[in-house]
Amino acid sequence: MTLPIKYWHAPFDVVGLKDQIDRLFDGFPGLLGDRDPGIMEGIWSPAIDIYDSKDSLLIRADVPGMAKDDIDVTVHNNVLTVRGEKKKETETKGKCFIRQERFSGSFNRSVSLPSDVDASKVSAAYKDGVLEIVLPKREEAKPKQIKIDIK
Structural domain harbouring 23: 11-39
Same domain (yes/no): 48, 121 = yes
Residue 139: pLDDT above 50? Answer: yes
Classify 28 as helix, strand or coil.
Answer: coil
Classify 17 as helix, strand or coil.
Answer: helix
Write the CATH number for 117. 2.60.40.790
Helix (H) or strand (E) holding 86: strand 79-86
Interval 73-129: pLDDT, tens: 999 988 999 999 887 766 666 777 777 777 778 889 999 998 889 988 999 999 999
Using a cut of 0.85, tell me whether the model's pTM lies above it. Answer: no
Contact indicator for 72, 83 with CB cutoff of 8 Å = yes
Interval 26-83: pLDDT, tens: 555 544 444 444 444 556 788 899 999 889 999 999 998 888 899 999 999 889 999 9
Torsion, Cα 20 26 29 35, to 10 degrees, reads 130
Which letter does DSSP use for residue 22 in this model? H
Same domain (yes/no): 26, 54 = no
Q: How many domains does the chain have?
A: 2
Same domain (yes/no): 47, 32 = no
Tell me, yes or no, whether 95 lies in a domain. no
